[in-house]
Chain A
Amino acid sequence: MKTASITMIIGSALLLGLFLFPLWSITLEAPQYPSGIGMYINLDGLEGHEKHDIQNIDGLNHYIGMRKLPKQDEMWEFSVFPKVIGGMAILGILIGLLGLFKKVSYKWFLGWLVLMTVLGVMGIFDFNAWMTDYGTHLDPKAIMKMTDADGNPLSYKPPLFGSRDILNFTAHSYPAIGAILMGIGMFLTFIAYIIGLKKTN
């Protein structure tokens, strides 16, 4: 149980990486932006890859009537996400410690992982819904109004995961270090469960 519990503690503690590193990264590429222009999605707000990228993305987006990117206090997610992640990390560490002192069984590790996965999936749904709204609700006075082959207004939603061509830009959307640490952490809690399972049997 000792190895399993320590693995559980390390795994859930890796979530705290999200307080240091960004969760996601969206990059826009075009010939006139040879080194790309983009933003990081942090737990508590958006941040440009370079100092003024957010302002410059807003400047580009105004042609097609997109809103300005939300500031920290303009989205409830940016105040709730840190609490959820912080809470889950503390909970995971606590479960790990209790496991170390043989107060709880390894099954709690799995329980934590299931809860975390549910919360993660909810987060992804929320993120996707926001991007859909941001990319499709456009200013009716937009300078450029583009339509698809069927005459419907074009959606400028960035991909949830992967790359997509949007007009003259290619948008790349991928997890950043924080999310990768979180993924590794969650995997470790799964390992903790497996170790616990084997030791017990």
Chain B
Amino acid sequence: MKTIQKLLLGLGAGLLLIGCGNNSKSDSGAMASSNAEKVYIAPGEHDEFYAFMSGGYSGNLTVYGLPSGRMFKEIPVFSQFPTNGYGYSEETKAMLNTSYGFVPWGDSHHPDISQTNGKLDGRWIFINENNTPRIARISLETFETEEIIEIPNSAGNHASSYVTENTEYVVAGTRFAVPNPQKDMPIDEMKGEFKGPLTFIKVDPEHGHMEIDFQINMPGFNYDLSHPGRDKSHGWFFFTSYNTEEAHSMLEVNASQNDKDFIAAVNWMKIKEYVENGGGTEVAGTYAHNIYDESTMMATTEMKEGVTSVDPRDVPGAVYYMPVPKSPHGIDVNPTGEYIIGNGKLSTQLSVYSFAKIEEAIKNKDFDGDAYGIPILKFESVLEGVVDSGGLGPLHTEFDGKGYGYTSFFISSEVVKWEVGTWKVVDRQPSFYSVGHLTIPGGNSREPFGKYMFSMNKITKDRYLPTGPELEHSAQLYDISGDKMQLLLDFPTHGEPHYAAAIPADLIKSKSKKYYDLEENNHKYAAKNESEGRVERKGNEVHIYTTTVRSHFSPDNIEGVKVGDKVYFHVTNLEQDFDVPHGFAMIGANTSEILVMPGQTKTIIWEPKREGVWPFYCTDFCSALHQEMQGYVRVSAKNSDTKLRWSLDDEWKE
């Protein structure tokens, strides 16, 4: 009996030992007084927020942690990315297809996170491309670009890619007025002839797939930025425009003559109904729609033709113009949806419009004429207040959810905090230097997380160690939990951080994918275990199915390849563990390396030019025997009769 008692005691002790996990969770923030402590994330601890910054001219999106300012990842979106083969591998090349052919670069601007009921839901992030108008959707499970849709009849897709409060639509607006449809015509006859289409793209609520629903064919002003209504103004979308002068030369001067430009207020619900009831006309417009399928691991392009175009004058009550002081940039809506803020970048003031007043003015037909048939609401009737800040060049405003707005001032290089309702400035802090946009996590939703705000600055000189004439841009993190803003941290960013979206880490990190399940790998050329490693010839194409595990390729030697062949390396990573990619690089390949994530298959092409025995190797340090992870391809003369064979597990196979 005693044995049994001892056994039970032992079992109990075992339970206790198992129960001893590491529950160390330090909370040093409460007593912290210095700024350094406020941004310090101890080794092994996680940041509180994800920040997604556009890369601007890098064409990509970068992921940072807040408050540390550490960069975690660069997500390739509109630009080829040799780091992992995006835009080079056979699977991802199609992502960069457009109606102009393969475009290997883009200019990414405004990321926006999907929303449900006006709150960030952390499912996808959208970002626009300015130069060759496109919008991309990135999965926040895999942090990979899953879809890119081109916007036809548009140029300079800048007023983009903001989402409505249930992610019903993501929008695109043309910054450069252009002929619609495009045609050969004298530039100086643009006035009244050029157009500024605003595009509404439907988002499938389940998969996020995008589809162009309609384009509103607006007068040819330059549409700059946009923002959806929230809560009570849900159903509306607001777009700023500049160059209402419709100038085509020396825009710096000629587009800055009017004392007021326009905000276009669009009742998209009304237009949606109109289109659903058969309204609008089908116009020409060729565009590429690229989708990456996670199961087949393949991106495909569908070329589409034609869009539904809506003349705003055909839908009474759907579109109005509101005057706004001088060349506005940002247009922002506060969390309750009541106030719409126009940021006139050549002015010193912010103009605050009231949604209730807009509705009232529409009801009373309180118009001040029209522009190309679109009624202009009387400025005084819709204006709720003015933030008279004394700053120069207000660009963009976000909200903290506690009754304050924060506006960046480009010319006077500062961030200004003001009170919603009284419109009084309560604080101002300099930025270093020339701040463009600023971001508060969730700051453009119904539920901001008003603890931090960060500004994205255009000029960096003297802030960091110099790196020659070219410096990375700079972001600055402010603590906005108190009455006064407090500058906590300077950190460099990659590319031009044109705008950012940020979200509490808890809404994303538990859903983040760790590896791809091999069982779900439906890639056409996958080899799911080492015994499937093989080589097949089809004419002058040689398909090499190779697998990777720590620390070898199977097969690792290949003979029978000839000069002039087109060699496809189909690399399947058999690992099923978090963060164990394998790389693949081939000497003389005119592409890039590929990084293959666990469970993934990727294909890259090599066209051998010279006879010889040429090595390939793993580029991602994977194990103690990483250096040994290599193989050879023997390349024979074009007409040689070298037999096709490969070595698998130390044996030659044919």
Contact = CB atoms under 8 A, between A and B. Distances in A.
Given A51-B576, A59-B550, A174 B624 contact: no
B101 interface: no
Interface string A31-64: 0001000000000000000011001100100010
A174 B18 contact: yes
Interface in B545-582: 549-550, 575-577
Interface residues of B, number: 21
A183 B18 contact: no
B17 A55 contact: no
Given A63-B624, A180-B11, A172 B1 contact: no
A63 B624 CA distance: 9
A156 to B, nearest CB: 17
Nearest to A124: B7
A189 B3 CA distance: 14
A155 B653 CA distance: 36
A117 interface: yes
Contacts of B32: none
B625 interface: yes
Given A51-B576, A63-B624, A143-B625, A174 B14 contact: yes
Interface in A154-185: 161, 163, 172, 174-175, 179-180, 183-184
A186 interface: yes
Given A174-B17, A174-B18, A183 B11 contact: yes
A186 B15 CA distance: 17
Interface of B: 1, 3-4, 7-8, 10-11, 14-15, 17-18, 44, 515, 517, 549-550, 575-577, 624-625
Nearest to A163: B17
A174 B10 CA distance: 10
A190 interface: yes
Contacts of A21: none
Given A59-B550, A117-B4, A161 B576 contact: no
Contact of B11 (A113, A117, A143, A179): A179
Given A52-B577, A175-B11, A59 B549 contact: yes
Contacts of A172: 17-18
Interface residues of A, number: 23
Contacts of A113: 4
A196 B598 CA distance: 60
A57 to B, nearest CB: 10
B577 A56 contact: yes
B1 A161 contact: no
B608 to A, nearest CB: 32
A187 interface: yes
B4 A186 contact: yes
Contacts of B14: 161, 174-175
A60 to B, nearest CB: 9
Given A161-B14, A190-B4, 17 more contacts: A25-B18, A51-B517, A56-B577, A59-B549, A113-B4, A143-B625, A172-B17, A174-B14, A174-B15, A174-B17, A174-B18, A175-B14, A179-B11, A180-B11, A186-B4, A187-B4, A190-B1
Contacts of B625: 143
B651 to A, nearest CB: 15
B15 A180 contact: yes
